[in-house]
Structure formats: structure tokens, C-alpha cells
């Protein structure tokens, strides 16, 4: 299955405005992926034609990219490397919501206890 990656280019400064241009990188693309990305079947649905249309300027302009690069092989972008994060265990995520001075979880528990007595 094809992968989508973003390669950020150096930030550009135009007066007070700043933009971060990027290139869309599609790797591990096979013929079926390219044909799917190209859209509905056309008279000339060859792999080369699909890649040519996919990398065309109009598609890049539509998504705001400077370019679109398509590769059949795997392309690793160092800035997108997240392997350092996988070595640490995921942090426990907890959301505590309060209504006034009461925690919502305890209010729900109390409601269930009061309204569902005898249903067990």
C-alpha cells in the first residue's frame, strides 16, 4: 500500500508573512495505486500516463504542494522518522471533566446507581 509523506522545505519569509512550502512524497506506489490516484479509467490508463498525471502541476497546485514525487520503492524522510518515540511506552491518557465542584465521572456513577437499582 502506498504511503504519503510530507517533506517540508525551508520556511519562506515575505515581509510579515511566513509560509512553509512542502513536497508530497508518495512511495511504495504500484500500478494499481497510481491508477486509483489518477481517477476514473481513461483511454490511455497506462502506469506511465497515470504517474505523469499524478505528478502534474495542477494536482500539486490543488493541494498547495511545490511538487509531488512518486516512487515505486520505499523512501525514508529523516524528518518523518518516529522510531525514537516507539521505544517509550505510551502515556496513559486521562480526561477529567468537572461540572462545578463535581467530577463528571462521579456524577454519572451516582446517576446510574440511583436510576438502575434492581436491574442487575
pLDDT at 63: 87
pLDDT at 119: 54
- Of the chain, the percentage scoring pLDDT greater than 70 comes to 68
pLDDT confidence of 21, banded at 50, 70, 90?
A: very high
pLDDT at 89: 66
The mean pLDDT of the chain is 77
pLDDT at 60: 79
Q: What is the pLDDT of residues 55-76, one digit of tens each?
A: 665 677 888 898 888 888 898 8
- For residue 39, is pLDDT > 70? no
Task: For residues 77 and 72, give the distance between their C-alpha atoms in angstroms, rounded to a whole number.
Answer: 15
How close are the terminal C-alpha atoms of the chain, in Å?
48
pLDDT at 67: 85
Beta bridge partners of 12: 19
pLDDT confidence of 18, banded at 50, 70, 90?
A: very high
Task: For residues 71 and 75, give the distance between their C-alpha atoms in angstroms, rounded to a whole number.
Answer: 7
Amino acid at each position: 500500500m502506498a504511503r504519503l509523506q510530507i517533506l517540508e522545505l525551508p520556511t519562506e519569509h515575505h515581509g510579515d508573512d511566513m509560509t512553509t512550502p512542502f513536497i508530497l512524497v508518495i512511495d511504495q506506489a504500484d500500478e494499481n495505486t497510481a491508477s486509483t490516484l489518477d481517477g476514473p479509467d481513461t483511454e490511455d490508463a497506462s502506469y506511465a500516463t497515470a504517474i505523469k498525471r499524478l505528478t502534474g502541476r495542477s494536482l500539486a497546485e490543488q493541494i498547495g504542494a511545490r511538487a509531488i514525487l512518486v516512487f515505486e520503492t520505499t523512501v525514508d524522510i529523516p524528518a518523518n522518522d518516529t522510531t525514537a518515540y516507539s521505544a517509550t511506552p505510551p502515556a496513559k491518557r486521562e480526561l477529567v471533566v468537572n461540572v462545578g465542584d463535581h467530577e463528571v465521572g462521579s456524577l454519572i456513577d451516582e446517576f446510574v446507581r440511583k436510576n438502575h437499582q434492581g436491574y442487575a
